[in-house]
Structure 1
Amino acid sequence: MSKPPARAAVFSAGSWGTAAAKILADAGTTVTVHARRNEIADAINTSHRNPGYFPNVDLPATLTATTDPATALDGADYLVLSIPAQSLRANLAAWTPHIGPDTVIVSLMKGIERDTGLRASEVIAEVTGVGVERIAVLSGPNLAREIMAGQPAAATVACPDENAARRFQTACHTSYFRPYTGTDVIGCELGGAVKNVIALATGIAHGMSLGHNAEAILITRGLAETTRLATVLGAHPETLAGLSGCGNLVATCASPLSRNRTFGTHLGQGMSVAEATAATRQTTEGVKSAEAILEPARAHGVEMPITETIAALLRDRISLTEATAALMQRPTKAER
């Protein structure tokens, strides 16, 4: 007798959540998407499209949607979370009673909680009481629009329980999406969170027409400061050189599809933070997480000059010209 397919509940029906749901369904996993709005759930169920994000892309007919969290989580092997990091705690508190005793929670989130400085996996553990062996992270260079088009992509599934990571790897492996496994949750999460701030900086450089050299400097030195922080907090350096570190950083900093780079480009072209927020129209985690990322850095004496500069710029403490000067006029030193 063949084993029934794995079941996944994907919360929510945003850009990356929809892409993740498509990956899982294409891999043969039974998927239910939790949408906040009835019209989105109805459209997914009837027309097999998400009109809010990908109105012209067909979703697998096996993929269903609901606005009821209990229905979405009924019998789920995996709860896949793709919601803004700052709303995770409140939403998860409401959903926790419906999470099964064996459900593995997979975080797709790339942000740090502002009030606490906690990574998403830490918030999940605190709110749900679930052990770390049932909390995984999926992170990599995963631009949702390219994935929806079936273009090749890869990511790392990190979980302290290697068997859980391998099971989810199987649940999301398709002809166009290649998942790797690992155990370094800290490295995967920080690689995903800090790259958003570096992408803001790279977008600003692009908007100011500072040139490709400047963008390359920011990507390279951004990886250096990400690695410094992550390793101090217990991550493995090789993780930051992999998909969730370097891969994440390159895709987010280089692509016009990246909302963080786009937000930065708006700032570099002279928009205010409020104007850039309105123009971007989607959650930009780098804006939300910059200050929170600095908290552990300061506590451990880790220098993060790019992140410091972006945080100051976002709070209108310095101008674009002053931000550029602050980075270029730092004391010279050995590269490391």
Structure 2
Amino acid sequence: MTEIPAFKKNLPTQIAVLGGGSWATAIIKILSENNVKIKWWLRRKSDVDFIKKYNHNPSYLTDAPLNPRKVRAYHKMHDALNGVEYVILAVPAAFIPDALKNLNRNHFAGKKIVSAIKGMIPEENMLVTDWMEKVFGVPQNMLAAIAGPCHAEEVALEKQSYLTIASPNLQVAQDYANLMSCRYIQANPIGDLYGVEYCAVIKNIIAMACGITHGLGYGDNFQAVMVSNAMQEIKRFLDIVYPDPYRDLHSSGYLGDLLVTAYSQFSRNRTFGNMIGRGYSVKSAQIEMNMVAEGYYAVKSIHQVNKQYDVSMPIIDAVYNILYEKAIPANEIMTLRTFLK
């Protein structure tokens, strides 16, 4: 085997991060703790100019400083993708097709693609990694996904957090886990890419259900019952769609991610649901939040996917009926109560 020259051994890992939101900003903060060079693509040129001048995101996690020696902002995605080893996708799932519409397979050839998106591609009803494989020909062994439990706001505060990096290629998962590990982050690799992705998608819908019931005046007792039933829904769904005898849904990448999203004050999906429960329309809630709640799009996709499998998912059905069938939240949750145990 050819010996790697000493001067090349400590070269920084080249990484592109696509997306300008809070989670993209948090990921950049984590990666910056290690030996990396980050090319950060943001949609708004004004944000790029601001970051170059002031070294922090003007719109999200505004108090989190960015290391100018390791992070460079770009407005042209082609430039951000040039010469990198990893591409981290942190654009909301609903906007991914538009964001990547001017790219082709060559832009992702030979690169490891890591989805930090906890949503599905609307209309296509596909996981982000499946979509990247279909549209851009990224092989499965070059795909990975990041799961929580980990809120961007706590990363900015450097609170101890844990991440799960999933990939069918455990070496890819381990290598990226090493890049995402630092003094306040512990990242662990696993092989269950699709189980982790589907769980991350569904837990956002469950968080919306928790928010809706909270907005209607239900208490912690009911929410605890609903979350425990939700874990059973997730298991039933995954056992049919992507069975894996080694999957442990009680681990932090699954149950932990569900719990933090269902209960945390930082959960945008719970916040969105709470507004719906209090009487906001979907449009009004979206305008007031000014952030994307992935669960809104995801519940329609999961509902469509489940038509093929017919898994019993009463919580998912209730959220879908409220958001897309204009069911009255109080009536729908009253019906849901009869399915919970």
TM-score for the superposition, normalised by structure 2? 0.93
How far apart, in 2, do the equivalents of 1:150 and 1:37 lie?
A: 27
How far apart, in 2, do the equivalents of 1:153 and 1:28 lie?
A: 20
Contact 1:184 1:239 in 2 (8 A): no
| In the alignment, structure 1 residue 182 sits paired with structure 2 residue 190 | yes
- TM-aligned CA distance change 1:235 to 1:243, over 3 Å: farther
| In the alignment, structure 1 residue 35 sits paired with structure 2 residue 22 | no
Residue number among 26, 31, 49 corresponding to 1:24 in the alignment: 31
Secondary structure in structure 2 of the residue aligned to 1:274: helix
Contact 2:206 2:227 in 1 (8 A): yes
2:228 alignment partner AA:
T
Q: Return the offset for 1:295.
A: 2.2
- TM-aligned CA distance change 1:97 to 1:42, over 3 Å: farther
| In the alignment, structure 1 residue 293 sits paired with structure 2 residue 296 | no
What are the ranges of 5 or more consecutive residues in structure 2 without an aligned counterpart?
1-5
How far apart, in 2, do the equivalents of 1:180 and 1:235 lie?
A: 21
How far apart, in 2, do the equivalents of 1:203 and 1:93 lie?
A: 34
| In the alignment, structure 1 residue 234 sits paired with structure 2 residue 242 | yes
Contact 2:205 2:295 in 1 (8 A): yes
302-311 or 204-213, larger mean C-alpha shift: 204-213
Per-residue CA deviations over 1:234-287 (Å, capped at 9, x if unaligned) read 243734322221111111110111100000111111111111111211111111
How far apart, in 2, do the equivalents of 1:282 and 1:57 lie?
A: 18
Alignment of 1:2-21 (within 5 A): 2-21=9-28
What is aligned with 2:63?
56
Contact 1:92 1:127 in 2 (8 A): no
How far apart, in 2, do the equivalents of 1:270 and 1:301 lie?
A: 30
What is aligned with 1:79?
87
1:142 alignment partner AA:
C
TM-score for the superposition, normalised by structure 1? 0.94
Q: Return the offset for 1:215.
A: 1.1
How far apart, in 2, do the equivalents of 1:94 and 1:173 lie?
A: 33
52-61 or 151-160, larger mean C-alpha shift: 52-61
Per-residue CA deviations over 1:170-192 (Å, capped at 9, x if unaligned) read 11111111111011111110110
| In the alignment, structure 1 residue 272 sits paired with structure 2 residue 288 | no
How far apart, in 2, do the equivalents of 1:140 and 1:116 lie?
A: 25
Contact 1:186 1:233 in 2 (8 A): no
Q: Give the ranges of 4+ consecutive aligned residues of structure 1 lying more than 6 Å apart after TM superposition.
A: none
What are the ranges of 5 or more consecutive residues in structure 1 without an aligned counterpart?
none
1:264 alignment partner AA:
G
C-alpha RMSD of the superposition? 1.6
Q: Return the offset for 1:145.
A: 0.8
Over the matched positions of the two proteins, sequence identity in percent amounts to 27
204-213 or 234-243, larger mean C-alpha shift: 234-243
| In the alignment, structure 1 residue 126 sits paired with structure 2 residue 130 | no
How far apart, in 2, do the equivalents of 1:43 and 1:9 lie?
A: 19
